[in-house]
Amino acid sequence: MTPKDVIKMAQENKAVMVDFKFLDFPGIWQHFAAPIDELREEIFEEGLGFDGSSIRGWQAIHTSDMLVIPDPSTAIMDPFTQFPTLSLICNIVDPITKEFYSRDPRYIAQKAEAYLKSTGIGDTAYFGPEAEFFIFDDIRFDQNSRCGYYFVDSKEGIWNSGREENPNLGYKPRHKEGYFPVPPTDSQEDLRTEMVIEMQKCGIYVEKEHHEVATAGQGEIDMRFDSLVKMADNLMLFKYIIKNVARRHNKTATFMPKPLFGDNGSGMHTHQSIWKNGKPTFAGSGYAGLSELALYYTGGILKHAKALAAITSPTTNSYKRLTPGFEAPVNLAYSARNRSAAIRIPTYSASPKAKRIEVRFPDPSCNPYLAFAAMLMAGLDGIENKINPGEPLDKDIYELGPEELASVPTMPASLEEALDHLEEDHEFLMKGNVFTEDALETWISYKRSKEVDALRLRPHPYEFFLYYDI
């Protein structure tokens, strides 16, 4: 779509506003809107100015002026605004140098795609994330000098099986039994279908939707795979639609990895493959039908997984999900069937086009542009350096003896540990200037000061249970 096409689209839909969306560093969409008269062809080259000093992880106050450059290929009509509004996803540009901003996550993802092409290994990296989420009826939380708490509720939560609801009709999925009972136990089929319909209106190809394992409204909607930047764009739109459809029904949706104790968290298993000249490069005669190139890519992911975790599983809450001994994929191994391995090789189809790997440790709290770019760079490092992934782990991990289990490396146990690994192991991310030293230093510093240290300073409610009588 060209700028002319975008303007025509706005006219045909009688748009009165144009909304400019862009991503802050941690991964939340930001926006500002302007009257449709401001939508002129030249802004697609010259951009529009805004203050970048208040965006998390961005500019200092004395260098706050920035430009948004809208991408015409991302134009849609926003499905949630009261007044007809055209929506555009933007890149960020420095107004002085006219260079793309090194901390703009979308630009980092674009550089990763360019680096792939420069290597000659392939020309397209496809990603297919399975982002899980919860839909709750109520969420309250607070933390101050004298108290701290959270309170989550859902009519579907098993803990409400005895509540007076005048009448309580039951059919509340038990912990870990939400996968896949039909209605009325699955109470949110129509809600997820509405989400799917809105996604389709916005050009997202949806393959399926279903209730997930946990009680209390855990769900999953699967999108058809797409190229790296396009998939990251789609995932941001996906989150926007899920949250706003939930809000439309007076409910609240979250992509927080572990909002409930004692039940499954929300992961984002990420399918990925590389193609060249319209042909898949991951299909071959090796293990589970993989090519040598795909196995090297797998080796790169496994080698750098502990550093990747700081980007793909980037919250302190992520490590409440990535806990050894449960179903989470903490074991740094690959397998065609073992779902507790960090990388699974799907075997649903024998078609070479379907051959891919599924990286299972990411979660949907990540910034998708950074996460997809980082995984691609790790995989490419594996290919370039012919990193052998070792033998597959096809045994039941829960039945392994202590000696065997000790030989299987695991994911970091905390965000702090993951950040330490990223600090030590990040050269692979800097090839082709994809991630700059400034971007990585800012990420590590932000996560440590705003999240790790901030949580460390605050008493936890459970500590009162454990220690008050000491």
- Active-site residue numbers? 51, 130, 132, 212, 220, 269, 339, 358, 360
Location of structure tokens 């779902």: 339
Beta bridge partners of 88: 20
3-state class (DSSP) for residue 454: helix
Say which amino acid occupies 318. Answer: S
> How many helices (H) and strands (E) in the chain?
13, 18
Q: Residues 6 or more apart from 459 whose CB is under 8 A from it? A: 148
Backbone angles phi, psi at 254, to 5 degrees: -135, 145
Say which amino acid occupies 9. Answer: M
Q: Which of 400, 409, 388 is nearest to 287 (CA)?
A: 388
Location of structure tokens 């009688």: 14
Helix (H) or strand (E) holding 125: strand 124-136
Answer for the pair 321, 312: CB distance below 8 angstroms, yes or no: no
Strands (E), 327-464: 331-335, 341-344, 357-359
Q: Which of 281, 282, 299 is nearest to 382 (CA)?
A: 299
Q: Rounded to an integer, what distance in angstroms lies between the CA atom of residue 334 and that of residue 10?
A: 48
Q: Which of 299, 241, 298, 310 is nearest to 271 (CA)?
A: 298
Location of structure tokens 């797998």: 298
Answer for the pair 57, 24: CB distance below 8 angstroms, yes or no: yes
Location of structure tokens 């090789």: 345
Answer for the pair 343, 360: CB distance below 8 angstroms, yes or no: yes
Q: Which of 334, 346, 460, 435 is nearest to 394 (CA)?
A: 334
Answer for the pair 437, 423: CB distance below 8 angstroms, yes or no: no
Backbone angles phi, psi at 167, to 5 degrees: -105, 160
